Each structure stands twice: as C-alpha cells, then as structure tokens.
Structure 1
Amino acid sequence: MQHSRFVFLAAPMPGPYQGQTIHGILWMLVSPNNRPLGRGAVQHEVYARCHESVLELRANVDRIVSQESTVPASGQWTWRIQIADVTVALSSRSYLRARECHYNLGRFLEALPHAEVVAGTRAVRRDRRRPTEPSTPITGGALGTPLARPARVAVRPPYRLEPWSRDVS
C-alpha cells in the first residue's frame, strides 16, 4: 500500500549574479496517487537544509497555524501554514471555491505526520519552452532563499484585419 510522501525537487532559481541560474531544493508533499498536496514556502540552496525543514515541520505539527485567503488578482483561494509567524508551507495550486481550499488543506494536514520522507532529489525545469531564460524572484520568503518564478511574457505582433475580398466574376 502506498502512502503520502515528501519528495525533494531541484528546480532553477536565480543565482548571486545577474542572469545566472542555479538549482535550489524545494520539498513537496504528494498523495499516494502522486497529486501534490502542498509544498515548502522556501527553496533551499542545499538538500540537507531542505530535508531538515521537513523534519522541523513534522516535529512542530502541534504549533501549526493555517490560514486561507484569496488571491486578489484572480479571486481564487489558497492556503498557507505558519509556525511562529513564519510561513513554512503553501498550497501547490489555487482553488475556485473556499470549501475546496479548506478540504485540500485538511488532506495536507492529515498526511503530514505520517508521510514518508523520500531520500534524494528529482530535477525539474520551470519553463520547458525557454530553459535558459533567467527567473524572477518572488519576494517575501521567510527562511532561506526566496522562491523563483519564471518570467512569462507573451509578445505577439499586433493583430491586423486583412481586407476581405471576394471575386464575383
């Protein structure tokens, strides 16, 4: 029988020099059917520190304070978990309804104490279309290094309406 588990992902994050990309380590809690339940709020520079953050989270389950809120731009719901006013975990996606958000937060909290901690990391790329594009940091990280999110700007030529002609001959 499979159980929920913590997996560690090596993902691109901005390096100390402009335009440089290095790999940071981020943990994610997944359900037995591999659906993401939640993720760490911070990317760590080394695997050992990321692994420690999972063990600290599990050791402090009784001190968890959860918060559900909406994303102002979309109106969708997300959740986050704090310990001593420090955000340590986030929902892995946003939800259309508050009850969906609340339900999925419950699944995360239910799986947290019993989840297996998988050793090693898996490499992931943030944006498969442009793997060399530098990432832009998300501000407000509590511990370690802030998370990175790829800059996704679609540049399209202006739309031109071609005159429609019909040959009637």
Structure 2
Amino acid sequence: MQRSRFVFLAAPMPGAPQGQPTDGVLWMLVSPNNRPLGRGAVYHAAYAGCRESVLALQASMDRIVPVEGTVPASGQWTWRIELDEVAVALSSRSYLRARECRYNLDRFLEALPHAEVVPGTRAVRRGRRAASEPITPLSGGTLAAPLVPPTRLAYRPASGIEPRRRDASR
C-alpha cells in the first residue's frame, strides 16, 4: 500500500536576479494519490539541507503551531505551520471556504509524522527554456540559513476575529 511522501523539487527560486537562474530545493508533501498536501516555506541550497529540514519538522511535531487565515487580496483561506514562530510549511493552494482549509490542514498534519522521505530531487522549470540555455546545477553542500526568508502571508482576521491558532496535539 502506498503512503504519503515527501518529494524534493529543484526549482528556480523567487527573487533571483533577472537572467541569472538560481535553483533551490523545496520539499512538498504529497498524498498516496499524488495530490499536494503542503510544501516547505524555505528554499535550500541542496537536497541534503532540505531533507534535514523535513526530518527536523517530523521530529518537532509536538512544537508545531498550525495557523489558518485569509489572504487579503483574494479573501481565500490558507494555512501555515509555524515552528518557534517561524513559518516552515504552507498550504499548496488557497481555499474558498474555511472548512476546506481546515480539512486540508488536518490531512497534512495526519500525513506529516509517517510520510516517507523520497531520495533525490525532481527538476521543475517555470516556463520554457531555450534549447541553448544551460541548466544551472545545484550547488553542493548544505546551508545553515535559508536562501529566502520564510514566507510571511498577510493574515486578515475573518469577520473581526483573530487568526485561528490550532493545538497540534489534536
């Protein structure tokens, strides 16, 4: 029987200087039917550092804080997982309804501790590259600090209430 797993994606990092593609590695947690459940909030320089962040997240299950909220621009719901007040995981999409967001957050939290960690990375490219454009290899080694600061979503209270922080022990 298949189970949820972490896959590692080598992808161009947002905010890289124009004309200088800089690849980073980002993890994604997928369900047994390959549906994305959530993704990492930080790009890493190499697979090894990204893998270590996944293992640290799994080992810190008792300290994570799930946060649900809405995106001001669209009013759609998203969630994030914080560890020591730093975002470490994000929803892979936004949701029209709070109950859909909550349901998908619960699926992520159920899969997180037992998900398989898949070795290696998969290359992801945004747009098409020219045939003559070289593929920039990932730099080796690990990185102590993230290349890009953790994503900070702007959470707006829904109907005048504060963002809902959930007890991860549920």
CA distance in structure 1 between the partners assigned to 2:31 and 2:86 by the alignment: 25
- Deviation for aligned residue 1:146: 1.8
Moved more, 113-122 or 6-15: 6-15
Q: Give the match for residue 103 of structure 2.
A: 103
Structure with greater proportional strand content: 1
CA distance in structure 2 between the partners assigned to 1:66 and 1:15 by the alignment: 26
CA distance in structure 1 between the partners assigned to 2:17 and 2:129 by the alignment: 23
What are the Cα deviations for residues 105-137 of structure 1, in whole angstroms up to 9, with x where unaligned?
0000000001000000000112348998xxxxx
Asked whether the 8 Å contact 1:7–1:29 carries over to 2, the reply is yes
Gaps of 5+ in 1: 133-142, 148-169
Question: Structure 1 residues 85, 130: CA separation in 2 closer, same or farther (over 3 Å shift)?
Answer: farther
CA distance in structure 1 between the partners assigned to 2:31 and 2:19 by the alignment: 35
- Deviation for aligned residue 1:22: 1.7
- The size of the alignment, in residue pairs, is 137
CA distance in structure 1 between the partners assigned to 2:128 and 2:70 by the alignment: 28
CA distance in structure 2 between the partners assigned to 1:56 and 1:114 by the alignment: 13
* Equivalent runs, 1:63-74 vs 2, <5 Å: 63-74=63-74
Q: Give the match for residue 30 of structure 1.
A: 30
CA distance in structure 1 between the partners assigned to 2:80 and 2:128 by the alignment: 27
**Per the alignment, in what secondary structure is the counterpart of residue 94 of structure 1?**
coil
What are the Cα deviations for residues 31-51 of structure 1, in whole angstroms up to 9, with x where unaligned?
000000000000111111000
Which structure: larger Rg? 1
1:47 maps to 2:47: yes
CA distance in structure 2 between the partners assigned to 1:36 and 1:118 by the alignment: 15
TM-score, normalised to structure 2, is 0.75
- Deviation for aligned residue 1:66: 0.6
1:90 maps to 2:90: yes
Question: Structure 1 residues 69, 130: CA separation in 2 closer, same or farther (over 3 Å shift)?
Answer: farther
Equivalent position amino acid for 2:148 in 1: P
1:127 maps to 2:127: yes
**Per the alignment, in what secondary structure is the counterpart of residue 66 of structure 1?**
strand
Q: Give the match for residue 163 of structure 2.
A: none
- Deviation for aligned residue 1:145: 1.6
Equivalent position amino acid for 2:146 in 1: G
What are the Cα deviations for residues 71-100 of structure 1, in whole angstroms up to 9, with x where unaligned?
111100000000101110000000000000
TM-score, normalised to structure 1, is 0.75
Could you list the runs of 4 or more consecutive aligned residues of structure 1 that deviate by over 2 angstroms after TM superposition? 14-19, 126-132
Asked whether the 8 Å contact 1:81–1:89 carries over to 2, the reply is yes
Aligned Cα RMSD in Å?
A: 2.2
Equivalent position amino acid for 2:86 in 1: V
Identity %: 74
Q: Relative contact order (C-alpha < 8 Å, sep 6+): which is higher?
A: 2
